[in-house]
Chain A
């Protein structure tokens, strides 16, 4: 058996090599480098419009610069059919427990939530998860064994992984998503359990994302309380309802506010979603109506977000009044997202578009009419 064969078997059968696992570690990222690596792995095609955007870290003041590198910690506990994870996201710690199809989570921003066992709602478990699913990369990366090493006091293999050309395997970039984007990866593979003790995604020989364990133990008897989540506030868990896709004709009967639509949108296709109220009203019930054109060469994409409650202020957008409506631009995206807000008969409406001018959007806003109820007449 070759060394590559031994590594393949280790990583492929890793799930069978431990009963329980407890680990903690960190994720380090060079933000600009990682975005650069992602764009190299997913090159823009001439026929495709790419929007790049960055979410604002709440820890960074409006208009402030995000630091060039970031570091977040994570903890994981796994037993058959059960997971607990505590990880940093958006500047706060999220705790989640998953048992079978049901998850419960808690974070200071979102409070205590659960999916109530609905299979169509899943919850992430943080960046450490990718280290315990090493088989994912076997279909889409070629492995080069550098030799034996030790890490965390454990025998291990040092392995370089290089993504295969996408023509060879359509799933390549997706499957590598967990360990980040890079030209290549330096991996430390546990020689007994097959998990990754460390992964370093590299771009032009420089690290852009590091995932590593700082502590790991296997096959402990984890207390049952590990897989129970008690929110610090003792609040009851709110059952998260998923967004629901609807026909436009179903909207008037589905929400308690008047839904407005443009009289003659310039696009010819429409999609509709309803977002239920969440976080005990902190996220109000809303509907989104997205207009797109079936002909990619035509302009006219437009989205409407409507709610009975005011829209959040979005402090990264500078608002100004124009022709009796509020207009602003979200410049975190390229091209910028033009935004327009107004209130009509108790409904708060936000129109957004990447390719319509403010004047075109104002004309569409002036044409807003209540979406008709009831059946259609011929």
Chain B
């Protein structure tokens, strides 16, 4: 194979979007396997392996569908004001052109990747380029570019293992994800704001309320999910004066238990166990506390100090 000239590779990258009509690819990014079908920016399907299942995302013109790893299906029902985000570490194989602006490329040699002739290049990120940097590195890194189509075949934490261009995809590729009769959550149907009394009368589970709240706490909002019957209820308090703090409490069968990840720690008070996650930075504090009370899962999110959130969580009881 002849070593490529830089100008030719740059031109291939520059023209990349004009060099294919459709792309079907498989690969691995950040340790996760994925598959991609792309027929222009408005017709995209990705499937990516997650712990506990696959995440499938489909966009077809204005509409999108998403099958979550837990099997639930969501859609925007064609409402383009509610958009879906694709995993950028998959779509970056098509975003080679960002390299022209944000890095300085130097040819290293030739290779064959996923059966495709490729140029391998060293990319040195430009110091001033904060934008258009999909590789999230300030250190030099190597990339491989398809010599005919200009897409990225290999990059930091990215390997394409199979790729095909200009195939005609069947209708099902960009079609709805739900099987016949399977429930689909329409994300454009908003939760309903109700009074606490109305929520109690509407939801089919006991509503847990804290018996302990900070001085100055004021209930500002009570929302129930749009499903019939509702699958969660959300209560929001602010601590006055001046919204010193907020506290959101979400509970019901749709609330998932806190994942078994190192971000969450267990705190026991008497017979009650609360799982707690904290994040703190300049100008923000985020504390989440998850608790299971007689089979009802509840999660608190707040910017109160963690010990206060734990006390509130421990005090949760039904029928107050």
Contact = CB atoms under 8 A, between A and B. Distances in A.
A262 B101 CA distance: 48
B282 A248 contact: no
B189 interface: no
Given A8-B11, A9-B6, A264-B218, A138 B101 contact: yes
Contacts of B202: none
Given A46-B81, A139-B97, A264 B10 contact: no
Interface in A29-86: 46-47
B285 A247 contact: yes
Interface residues of A, number: 52
Interface of A is mostly: mixed
Given A1-B5, A247-B285, A261 B100 contact: no
B242 A270 contact: yes
Given A175-B101, A248-B242, A291-B243, A376 B285 contact: no
A16 B100 CA distance: 14
A66 B284 CA distance: 41
A8 B14 contact: yes
Contacts of A4: 11, 14
A269 B10 contact: no
Interface stretch (A164-172, A310-318, A323-331): A164-172
B126 A15 contact: yes
Nearest to A370: B241
A247 B280 CA distance: 10
B100 to A, nearest CB: 4
A265 interface: yes
Contacts of B11: 1-2, 4-5, 8
Interface string A132-165: 0101111110000000000000000000000000
Interface in A1-21: 1-2, 4-6, 8-9, 12-13, 15-16
Interface in B1-40: 5-8, 10-11, 14, 17
A139 B132 contact: yes
A246 B7 contact: no
Interface residues of B, number: 52
A5 B10 contact: yes
A272 B283 contact: yes
Interface string B210-238: 00111100101100000000000000101
B241 A12 contact: no
A249 B244 contact: yes
B126 A135 contact: yes
A171 B104 contact: no
A245 B312 CA distance: 27
Contact of A269 (B5, B101, B243, B285): B243
A245 B282 contact: yes
A139 B240 CA distance: 49
Contacts of B242: 248, 261-263, 265, 270, 289, 369, 371
B102 interface: yes
B271 interface: no
A271 interface: yes
Given A245-B283, A268-B236, A171 B132 contact: yes
A277 B101 CA distance: 38
Interface of B: 5-8, 10-11, 14, 17, 41-42, 81, 95, 97-102, 104-105, 126, 128-129, 131-132, 212-215, 218, 220-221, 236, 238-246, 282-285, 303-305, 308, 311-312
Given A1-B8, A12-B100, A372-B244, 13 more contacts: A1-B11, A4-B14, A5-B7, A6-B7, A12-B10, A135-B104, A138-B101, A245-B283, A246-B283, A248-B245, A272-B283, A369-B242, A378-B214
25 contacts: A8-B14, A9-B6, A12-B104, A12-B105, A135-B101, A135-B104, A138-B100, A139-B101, A167-B42, A169-B132, A245-B283, A247-B284, A247-B285, A249-B244, A249-B245, A261-B244, A262-B242, A265-B243, A268-B221, A268-B243, A269-B246, A289-B242, A376-B239, A377-B215, A378-B311
Interface of A: 1-2, 4-6, 8-9, 12-13, 15-16, 46-47, 133, 135-140, 167-169, 171, 174-175, 244-249, 261-265, 267-273, 289, 291, 369, 371-372, 376-378
For the complex of A and B, the 10 pairs showing the least CB-CB separation, nearest first, are A261-B242, A245-B283, A138-B100, A139-B101, A5-B7, A5-B11, A9-B7, A171-B132, A8-B10, A167-B41
